[in-house]
């Protein structure tokens, strides 16, 4: 207990340093044309938004009546690695937001400002425009010509995230990384033996009925309902996380909690699980599990198919809600990463679906094998126990990154 | 020799051990008594929190027990020592 308190005190010592990040000054640069209507809308929005934000300074450059400013815009485009320099052209940190649509671009601007208020970066544009110190030499063209994308063709962040890989072609590093993260964290979460026992028991009961059609339908319904509960939980948490992440203290609390929980899991593995001589199924709450088992038994042997189907949905939903507590850490951390990234609702749903699919992949495999061979194959607890260790390491890692390098979790390469 | 196997239909380790018990039965003259942790009366066997449990009985007395997942060699060692 003393050790935990000590760790907390050490971690909390660094908290003011992180919170101070919000007080950081940020220069942003807007290139516009005098009579351009979108530029006027953007100026109006920025003036209103920045009214009470003294730490953010807006520098404006009119380019239609000022040749020097027009040249500046071209140079700024080169500095940011973006040759498409249409107006309005707003530079925030190392990112350029080109164009402005009312109700469309505001959130992106706010998110980008929030992001650059938190991370350290070199204000190359500010240096070039002599706003900040050490003007840089722009004679060296450090950028490569890139083909414009269909949408957001001038968004440097998106262009920077694309890489040319032989055979595979152009790969978006952010999308690929998020897909990989969904697969890996989903798999590790799925190997957690917490909820596996319910599926194993259900399959044992189903095999006893000897009605193949009924077995398939009830099993698939159980797995689908489980997936739906997990998916709904992730989407709800994702929506909540998007809101809560804006409050620095809540985000910090989640990060600290992840470090503590992950640390506890690693500690538990190293000093308890790894030292344990007996490797098998750990029985937790025998009375509760007996109740669940009796319900499953009753449902499987229910004569009315409709009632059995309804029963299996109810049991899957209730059991998964209870078992969710067992593996809460990883899905919460995963949704935190999704919330940190500026993703569309569809993208968030797709990544959550990939996560859930891989979370259930071992269950699906065990179920299909059992239905095909009428024999249950199980994953040894020797393997399952490592999921706690890997899960713990992932949680600690994400927790620290959320605290000290949230920009790494935004997966901009 | 008799082995009392206490397992559960919900336990992956018990399923894994089924194969080993079958191999053991084919190789040795052992009687296996299957008991279900959840539905049979197993109180008298003083089972802990880890399943499966294999209790080795000879002359109606418990010789030893194996708990959790084990290799067939671990069982063979006990059986051979008693023969």
Instruction: Write out pLDDT tens, residues A91-143.
Output: 998 888 888 877 778 888 888 888 888 777 888 888 888 888 654 444 444 33
Contacts of A380 in chain B (CB under 8 A): 12-13, 16, 69
pLDDT at A20 over 60: no
Instruction: Say yes or no for a CB contact (<8 Å) between A284 and B49.
Output: yes
Cα A273 vs. chain centroid, distance in angstroms? 29
Question: Which of A205, A290, A380 is closest, CB to CB, to B69?
Answer: A380
**Could you tell me the two tokens for A376?**
């249950």
Any B CB within 8 A of A379 CB: yes
Give the pLDDT score at A144: 36
Task: Report which secondary-structure segment, H or E, holds B30.
Answer: none
A246 inside 8 A of chain B by CB: no
Which one-letter DSSP state was computed for residue A279? Answer: -
The C-alpha atoms of residue A261 and residue A332 are separated, in whole angstroms, by 12
A53-57, A105-109, A300-304, A326-330: the lowest-pLDDT one: A326-330
CB-nearest partner of A196 from B12, B38, B49: B12
Q: Which residues of A touch B67 (CB under 8 A)?
A: 278, 280
Which residue in chain A is spatially nearest to B16 when comparing CA positions? A378
Asked if A381 contacts B52 with a C-beta cutoff of 8 angstroms, the reply is: no
Please judge whether A281 and B9 are an interchain contact, meaning their C-beta atoms are less than 8 angstroms apart.
no
Note whether B9 contacts A378, CB cutoff 8 Å. Answer: no
At residue A154, the pLDDT reads: 42
Max mean pLDDT among A276-290, A357-371, A377-391 falls in A357-371
At residue A12, does pLDDT exceed 80? no
* Superfamily of domain covering B2-82: Glutaredoxin (3.40.30.10)
B→A contacts (Cβ < 8 Å), by residue, are 8-16, 37-38, 49-52, 67-69
Q: Are B12 and A283 within 8 A, CB to CB? A: no
Q: Which of A105-114, A206-215, A254-263 has the highest mean pLDDT?
A: A254-263
> Confidence band (pLDDT; 50, 70, 90) for A66?
confident
pLDDT (average), residues A16-42:
73
Higher pLDDT, A291 or A102: A291
Q: What is the dihedral of CA A118, A7, A242, A51, to 10 degrees?
A: -40
pLDDT at A343: 76
CB A325 within 8 A of CB A228: no
Is the pLDDT at A22 greater than 60, yes or no? no
Q: Is the CB of A378 less than 8 angstroms away from the CB of B51?
A: no
Return d(Cα A207, Cα A272) in angstroms, integer. Answer: 36
**Where would I find the H helices in A245-360?**
248-268, 286-300, 305-324, 329-340, 345-359
Tokens of A34: 């005098």
- Residue indicated by tokens 């089924």: B18
How far, rounded to the nearest angstrom, does the alpha carbon of residue A161 sit from its chain's CA centroid? 17
Of A205, A216, A115, A149, the closest CA to residue A159 belongs to: A149
d(CA A138, CA A404): 31
Test B10 with A201 for CB contact under 8 angstroms. Answer: yes
- By C-alpha distance, the chain B residue nearest A200 is B10
State how far the Cα of A180 lies from the Cα of B73, in Å rounded to an integer: 41
pLDDT band at A324 (very low <50, low <70, confident <90, very high): confident
* Structure-token match 């897909």, residue found: A179
**Higher per-residue pLDDT: A15 or A381:** A381
pLDDT at residue A181 tops 50: yes
What's the whole-model pTM score?
A: 0.65
pLDDT score of A147 more than 70: no
pLDDT value, residue B35: 95
Burial class (CB in 10 A: 0-12, 13-18, 19+), A230: buried
Q: What's the whole-number average pLDDT of chain A?
A: 80
- Neighbour count for residue B76 (Cβ, 10 Å): 14
Separation CA B18–CA B8 (nearest Å): 11
- pLDDT (average), residues A349-358: 93
Using CB atoms, which residue from A198, A381, A382 is nearest to B10?
A: A198
| pLDDT greater than 50 at residue A152 | no
Cβ contact, residue pair A200, B69, below 8 Å: no
Q: Do B9 and A200 touch (CB under 8 A)?
A: yes
| CB contact at 8 A, B69 and A382 | yes
Mean of pLDDT values over A385-413: 82
Q: What is the structure's pLDDT at A136?
A: 46
Q: Where are the domains of chain B?
A: 2-82
Which chain A residues are Cβ-neighbours of B16 within 8 angstroms? 378, 380
Beta bridge partners of A176: none
- Given this model, what pLDDT does residue A361 score? 92
Say if residue A187 is exposed, middle or buried (CB neighbours under 10 Å; 0-12, 13-18, 19+): middle
- Stretches in chain B below the pLDDT threshold 50: none
Selected residues 182-241 of chain A with any CB under 8 Å from a CB in chain B: 193, 196-198, 200-201, 204-205
Most confident of A51-55, A132-136, A227-231, A337-341: A227-231
User: Residue A9 has what pLDDT?
Assistant: 45
Q: Closest chain B residue to A380 measured between Cα atoms? A: B13
Gap between the Cα atoms of B75 and B54, Å rounded: 9
Chain A positions touching B38 (Cβ under 8 A) are: 286, 289-290, 293
- Distances in Å between the alpha carbon of A1 and those of A5, A6, A186, A266, A284? 6, 9, 32, 16, 24
């Amino acid at each position: 207990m003393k050790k935990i308190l000590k760790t907390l005190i050490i971690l909390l010592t660094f908290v003011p340093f992180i919170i101070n990040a919000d007080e950081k000054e940020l220069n942003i640069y807007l290139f516009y044309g005098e009579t351009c209507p979108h530029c006027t809308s953007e100026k109006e929005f920025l003036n209103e938004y920045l009214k009470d934000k003294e730490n953010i300074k807006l520098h404006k450059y009119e380019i239609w009546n000022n040749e020097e400013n027009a040249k500046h815009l071209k140079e700024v485009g080169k500095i940011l690695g973006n040759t498409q320099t249409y107006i309005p052209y707003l530079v925030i940190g190392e990112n350029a937001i080109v164009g402005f649509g009312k109700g469309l671009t505001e959130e992106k601007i706010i998110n980008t400002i929030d992001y650059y208020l938190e991370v350290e970066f070199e204000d190359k544009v500010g240096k070039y425009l002599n706003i900040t110190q050490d003007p840089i030499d722009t004679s060296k063209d450090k950028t490569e010509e890139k083909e414009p994308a269909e949408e957001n063709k001038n968004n440097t962040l998106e262009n920077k995230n694309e890489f040319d890989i032989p055979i595979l072609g152009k790969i978006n590093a952010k999308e690929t990384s998020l897909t990989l993260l969904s697969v890996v964290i989903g798999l590790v979460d799925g190997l957690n033996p917490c909820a596996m026992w319910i599926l194993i028991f259900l399959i044992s009961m189903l095999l006893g009925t000897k009605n193949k059609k009924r077995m398939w339908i009830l099993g698939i319904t159980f797995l689908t309902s489980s997936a739906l509960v997990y998916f709904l939980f992730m989407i709800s948490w994702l929506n909540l996380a998007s809101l809560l992440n804006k409050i620095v203290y809540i985000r910090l609390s989640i990060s600290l909690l992840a470090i503590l929980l992950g640390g506890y899991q690693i500690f538990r593995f190293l000093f308890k699980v790894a030292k344990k001589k007996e490797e098998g199924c750990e029985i937790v709450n025998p009375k509760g599990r007996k109740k669940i088992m009796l319900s499953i038994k009753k449902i499987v042997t229910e004569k009315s198919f409709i009632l059995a189907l309804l029963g299996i949905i109810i049991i899957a939903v209730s059991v998964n809600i209870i078992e969710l507590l067992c593996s809460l850490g990883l899905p919460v951390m995963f949704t935190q990463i999704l919330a940190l990234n500026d993703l569309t609702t569809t993208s968030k749903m797709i990544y959550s679906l990939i996560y859930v699919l891989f979370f259930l992949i071992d269950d699906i495999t065990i179920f299909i094998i059992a239905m095909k061979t009428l024999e249950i194959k199980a994953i040894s607890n020797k393997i399952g126990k490592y999921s706690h260790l890997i899960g713990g390491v992932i949680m600690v890692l994400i927790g620290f990154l959320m605290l000290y390098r949230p920009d790494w979790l935004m997966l901009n390469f | 020799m008799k082995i009392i196997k206490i397992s559960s239909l919900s336990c992956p380790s018990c399923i894994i051990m089924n194969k080993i018990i079958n191999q053991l039965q084919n190789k040795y003259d052992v009687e296996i008594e299957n008991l279900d942790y959840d539905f049979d009366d197993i109180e008298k066997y003083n089972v802990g929190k880890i399943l499966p449990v294999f209790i080795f009985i000879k002359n109606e007395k418990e010789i030893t027990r194996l708990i959790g997942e084990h290799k067939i060699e671990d069982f063979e060692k006990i059986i051979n020592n008693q023969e």
